Structure 1
Amino acid sequence: MNSFWIILFHTYLNKLKTKSFLVTTLLTIVIVLAITNINNIIDLFDKNGGKERVAVIDQSGQLYEPYKQQVKSVNKEIQLTFFKGSEEQAETLVKKGEYAGVIQLSVNEQKLPEATYKAKSIADSSLYSDLQTGLQQLKTTVAASQINLAPDQLQKLYDPVSFKKIALEKNAKTEEELNQARGLVYVLLFVIYFAVIMYANMIAMEVATEKSSRVMEILISSVSPIKQMFAKIVGIGLLSLTQLAAFLLVGYYSFTRNMESLKDGFFGVYGFGGIPAGTIFYAVIFFILGYFLYATLAAFLGSLVSRIEDVQQMITPMTLLVVAGFMIAMFGLGKPDAPFITATSYIPFFTPMIMFLRVGMLTIPAWEAILGIIILIATITILAIFGARVYRGGVLMYGKSNSYKDIKKALQLTKKE
């Protein structure tokens, strides 16, 4: 058993000290800090303090003030300025960056407002959309006055329609709870997706590297291949937990420091307050089981190749399985109760992401989540037994190996031992 722990900690410490691991960790921490400080970063580069300055040329002489009020009701960050100069002067100032754009207001033959908007680029669709919405509301107001609608009658046109959503299922999540769950599930799905791809690939590369350097021949004489495989899986598993712990601690600290500035954005809509403990528990369980499922698969696939260049080709089908599960889960964020989502949540290679999606988004019976966990454990066990046999013979194979026919050769070598 001592040899198992020696390989485990050697794998863990060796990878922990590599430049690639340290650079990846630091780079990801910088990205996490950037995301949680996004509003501060935007304000740092925004000389107008977040406000969009737009020049207004009112050719009608009467639309500026009412239009300004309408735009203010749509977006308070848009600052309209009445421009007294010519159109050419306004365009020059736009090109210099003094204004985000210039809008010309006029009336058509029906005495209704219309406008032409000019900017250096029309890529900012949100600003254009807000200006258009403000003009549409002004047009509605003017048209209503032409047909002599009273102010209270006009207000009825603007009043939002009453549309209530009521879930008939017992203990179903409310709209607010669904938004919170969707945000958490969205983030954790990305964590599971990238962690599985990155660390499973790391295991395959580790095995292939040792084979290519002939270190495996020395290890085989002193430690059984099965011990080697599981020591590497657990060692890199601990490495992944170390890295994720660093990301989560930095992210949580930065998020709590900037919670006020983030409340109106993604983190405000998809709040992370009041997260049920059960959801966190299932997130950890499905992450660990998903890691071991793909790590075991990656270990014995990595044992089939002798050159590092062949690793990616050998594990490509495994990567596509992870991608497929992630894409199905992304679809499931909008329709978590779809029969297709329910069915695929019981397919072992998709279960870590899709069953967790259902647990987070829906109020499903406990036995469904437990069944998913049992399916995963059973699959990992079967894969570990089969994978150990392939690994045991695979580490003895050298030469060009990039075909799944080599699995049969590896099993034959295992029987000869």
Structure 2
Amino acid sequence: MSKFWIVFFHTYLNKLKSKSFIITTVIMCVASLVLTNINHIVDLFNGDDKVKVGVIDESGELLAPYQAQLKKINPDIQLIKATDEKKAQKKVTDETWKGYMIVSLNDQGLPQGGYRSESMADMDVPTDLEQGLQQLKTTIASSKVGLTAEQSQLLYTPVSFDKKALDKGAKTEDELNQARVLVYILLFIIYISVITYGSMIATEVATEKSSRVMEILISSVSPVTQMFGKILGIALLSLTQFVLLFLVAGFSMFQNNREALDAIDIQGMSASILVYGVVFFLLGYLLFATMAAFLGSLVSRTEDVQQAIMPIMILIVAAFVIAVQGLGTPEATFIKVTSFIPFFTPMIMFLRVGLLTIPVWEVMIGMAILVVTIIALALFGARVYRGGVLMYDKHSFFKGIKKAVQLTKNQ
């Protein structure tokens, strides 16, 4: 056990003091500060400038009511009267105006219009302009058929539609929205951590192997001890980095972005979701980290690490895509089935736990499948690891595993 702690702390402290870890952590902390204050940054660049849009009113009577209608939708859009289309085009080209509109009355005496701008990349402004013109058309059409303003309002008032789950234990719509936020955050954390730290584990193994230090280590420390010492050492490193990020992001949101912090509302969430999130995160990390360790042992150069761990990347990307799809349809049969496939379980089963009320035995089976898979991978990985670290020639994926296992048997 003492050798395990030596490997564990050596891996942790060596990576903790590395320039790459320090620089990466600083960059991630700065990025978290930017993301948690993005609304203030956008406002800083935008200032209080209005979005100016020229309007060529061919009817001579639509501009004023159109502006009044548009203020209810987007008060930042300012309509400016224009009379000549060529001059309006020049204003847009000179970036004085965002664009310009041509509005008129059709044969029925109802508004119609068109929008012109340098490009159609900005969808928000034309959408708001169209919505405002549509509402103006509705108002004019209602008055033409003799409806009062109150009657028109009554006509377009949304229908009352109550939604209630029959299952007493089912989550309310507000609870589901809160759960979706937390589930998405934790899914993203699992995704990023596996890709980042799985690659780090594989690179660590390949680096020691390329320096021939591995040949000395493998003769004095068992492969299982060495492999899990590295895995858990980098796990502690990732935890250190995440704690720093959460402290920086949490403090920034608390000081400058309370709205986003209230939207997450961790205090209002079920403690079981947070517990399950931690459990599935740790199991998922151990699963993919174990794979990364023995796959990293198959290459002799750090340049080949990314290619070696490509199967892990494919699996974790597939799991993330399925999980994101499942945020809208967590009860789908496909989601339920994939939640019991071990490489997808950490994300998909947690998704179901967070959004649905599922039997505890299903969650326990998912965890048991993960534990059994991790143990099986650890046992098989140890055999591959012990032989793989002594291989220095290039092999295909399956051929490399086969040769590593044979080398282990011959030792």
* TM norm structure 1: 0.93
Q: Deviations over 1:295-337 (max 9, x none)?
A: 1111111112222233222221121111111111011001011
**Structure 2: how far apart are the matches of 1:288 and 1:118?**
54
Could you tell me how far 1:116 is from its partner in structure 2?
A: 2.4
Q: How does 1:11-410 map to 2 (within 5 A)?
A: 11-49=11-49, 51-78=50-77, 80-83=78-81, 86-260=84-258, 262=259, 274-410=268-404
Deviates more, 1:362-371 or 1:372-381: 362-371
Deviates more, 1:20-29 or 1:316-325: 20-29
Tell me which amino acid in the other structure corresponds to 1:165: K
Tell me which amino acid in the other structure corresponds to 2:213: V
**Structure 1: how far apart are the matches of 2:272 and 2:44?**
39
Tell me which amino acid in the other structure corresponds to 1:329: A
CA-based RMSD? 1.9
Deviates more, 1:191-200 or 1:137-146: 137-146
Tell me which amino acid in the other structure corresponds to 2:367: I
**Structure 2: how far apart are the matches of 1:394 and 1:22?**
30
Q: Deviations over 1:90-122 (max 9, x none)?
A: 333333333322223221222111122222332
**Corresponding residue SS for 1:102:** strand
Moved over 6 A (4+): 267-270
Contact 1:179 1:269 in 2 (8 A): no
Could you tell me how far 1:85 is from its partner in structure 2?
A: 5.4
Change (3 A) 1:27 1:117: same
Contact 2:54 2:82 in 1 (8 A): no
**Structure 2: how far apart are the matches of 1:84 and 1:76?**
20
**Structure 2: how far apart are the matches of 1:84 and 1:398?**
75
Aligned length: 411
Could you tell me how far 1:382 is from its partner in structure 2?
A: 1.4
**Structure 1: how far apart are the matches of 2:403 and 2:346?**
31
**Structure 2: how far apart are the matches of 1:348 and 1:375?**
6
Contact 2:218 2:386 in 1 (8 A): no
Could you tell me how far 1:75 is from its partner in structure 2?
A: 2.2
Change (3 A) 1:71 1:223: same
Structure 2 unaligned blocks of 5 or more:
none
Tell me which amino acid in the other structure corresponds to 1:152: E
**Structure 2: how far apart are the matches of 1:127 and 1:201?**
43
Could you tell me how far 1:48 is from its partner in structure 2?
A: 3.1
Contact 1:307 1:400 in 2 (8 A): no
**Structure 1: how far apart are the matches of 2:240 and 2:30?**
17
Corresponding position of 2:3: 3
Tell me which amino acid in the other structure corresponds to 1:351: T
**Corresponding residue SS for 1:53:** strand
**Structure 2: how far apart are the matches of 1:58 and 1:272?**
52
**Corresponding residue SS for 2:72:** helix
* TM norm structure 2: 0.94
**Structure 2: how far apart are the matches of 1:387 and 1:215?**
20
Tell me which amino acid in the other structure corresponds to 1:3: K
